[in-house]
Amino acid sequence: MTISFKDKVAIVTGAGGGLGREYALELARRGAKVVVNDLGGARDGTGHSDMALQVVEEIERAGGEAISNGASVTEFEQMQKMVADAKQKWGGVHILINNAGVLRDKTFAKMEPKDFEFVVDVHLNGSAFASKAVWELMREQAYGRILMTASSTGLFGNFGQANYGAAKLGLAGLTKTLQLEGAKYGIKVNTLAPVAGTRMTEDLFPEQAYKLFAPENVVPAALYLVSEDAPTNAIVGAGGGGYHSAWVMMNDAVWLHDGERTVEGFAAHWDEISAQTNLRSPNSGSEQSAAIMTAMQKVTGGSGPTSARG
Ligand code: NAI
């Protein structure tokens, strides 16, 4: 079975190099018309260059179709214009890969508020702005595929990356609500946590790891997650040749009776409350309150221990 992107229009942000460039090249090889967005700045987000244009030329040399866009994802009007240009040229936008990113690593103790703000702005607001710019069009088309780029730092934490981690987990959160709001319009939204040797990681990875985690290995996961038969609300990790899923999980609620709802009562049940048993991944926030209600019904409906797991 070949997965084709013929007749699809895709926007890849931050596609002038690294992972984004690989996504853009492969989408074009598989028939998509691609908007290659990149501000062309340095790793910390300063400066500009024509990186996006070079990728467009590469796509065209290989017989594909692409246009470049040098806008910053942090500027909503520019994102709106990017979408309008793609629509005017090719009639729609079916795929958005939010990939643009910057790094300003420091321990939280040394991190300036402006570096926190900037990194959150590019990753989280930038992805929200590009998604918002394409959202109405995807709803009208009753078709859309959006991929957010998170990170192991966002999902699990990493020393020295408080700003980046906050933004990246925010993106997994953005996915979770957009996939609910987009479902009836045929819009699927997923989150990818890549691991790749790129300029972003060149001084963070040892040389061998840098080579092992060649960015093209992330492409199969990214492209599947924006394909016709993509799942929705998935969090996928990809790097080297390894691929996995991740979830936001909860255990069963423990119902505490009136007299136990004190700080001491909570402390007495902490082992039970924090046990990693019966884990499941709710599909929406309302399932949290439903699980609490289930725990209550089990206790109030039975002869009654003083607390119970639902
Ligand atoms: P990269 O630095 O090669 O790519 C990021 C691209 O985004 C650059 O070309 C840059 O010019 C562009 N960009 C930055 N700010 C922009 C803005 N405001 N508007 C438009 N474009 C902008 O790095 P890499 O590794 O390819 O990163 C791609 C994505 O993957 C990023 O979101 C990154 O955080 C994420 N990621 C990468 C990991 C890795 O191991 N390389 C690990 C986890 C996440």
pLDDT digit string (tens) for 181-235? Answer: 999 999 999 999 999 999 999 888 899 989 999 999 999 999 999 999 999 999 9
Q: Whose CA is nearest to atom 8 of ligand 1?
A: 14
Residue 182 C-alpha to ligand 1 middle, in angstroms? 25
Beta pairing partners, 235: 191, 246
Give pLDDT tens digits for 42-101.
888 998 889 999 999 999 999 999 999 999 999 999 999 999 999 999 999 999 999 999
For the chain, give the percent of residues with pLDDT over 70.
97
User: What pLDDT does residue 43 have?
Assistant: 87
Q: Whose CA is nearest to atom 29 of ligand 1?
A: 99
> Is the Cα dihedral 45, 48, 51, 57 positive or negative?
positive
The preferred substitution site among 13, 19, 49 for testing ligand 1, maximizing ligand atoms within 8 Å of CB, is 19
Which two three-digit tokens encode residue 110?
A: 């040394």
For residue 1, is pLDDT > 90? no
For the chain, give the percent of residues with pLDDT over 90.
89
The preferred substitution site among 103, 200, 204 for testing ligand 1, maximizing ligand atoms within 8 Å of CB, is 200
Residues with CB under 6 A from ligand 1: 13-14, 16-20, 37-41, 43, 45, 51, 72-74, 99-102, 122, 126, 149, 151, 194-196, 198-201
Burial tier of 274 (Cβ tally within 10 Å: 0-12, 13-18, 19+): exposed
When the pLDDT of each residue in the chain is averaged and rounded to a whole number, the result is: 95
The preferred substitution site among 148, 198, 236 for testing ligand 1, maximizing ligand atoms within 8 Å of CB, is 198
For residue 305, is pLDDT > 60? no
For residue 310, is pLDDT > 50? no
Give pLDDT tens digits for 137-164.
999 999 999 999 999 999 999 999 999 9
Atom of ligand 1 nearest to the CA of 126: 18
For residue 302, is pLDDT > 60? no
Atom of ligand 1 nearest to the CA of 149: 32
Q: Whose CA is nearest to atom 41 of ligand 1?
A: 196
User: What pLDDT does residue 304 have?
Assistant: 47
164 carries an active-site annotation: yes
Give pLDDT tens digits for 267-289.
999 999 999 999 999 999 999 99
Q: Whose CA is nearest to atom 44 of ligand 1?
A: 151
User: What pLDDT does residue 309 have?
Assistant: 55
Please say whether the beta carbons of 151 and 165 come within 8 A: yes
Which 3-state string (H, E, C) describes 53-65? HHHHHHHHHCCCE
User: What pLDDT does residue 109 have?
Assistant: 98
User: What pLDDT does residue 59 have?
Assistant: 98
Which two three-digit tokens encode residue 31?
A: 């028939």
User: What pLDDT does residue 238 have?
Assistant: 98
- Specify the pTM: 0.96
Phi and psi, residue 51, nearest 5° = -50, -40
Which 3-state string (H, E, C) describes the chain? CCCCCCCCEEEECCCCCHHHHHHHHHHHHCCCEEEEECCCCCCCCCCCCCHHHHHHHHHHHCCCEEEEECCCCCCHHHHHHHHHHHHHHHCCCCEEEECCCCCCCECCCCCCHHHHHHHHHHHHHHHHHHHHHHHHHHHHHCCEEEEEECCHHHHHCCCCEHHHHHHHHHHHHHHHHHHHHHHHHCEEEEEEEEECCCCCCCCCCCHHHHHHCCHHHHHHHHHHCCCCCCCCCCEEEEECCEEEEECCCECCCEEECHHHCCHHHHHHCHHHHCCCCCCECCCCCHHHHHHHHHHHHHHHHCCCCCEEEC
User: What pLDDT does residue 49 have?
Assistant: 86
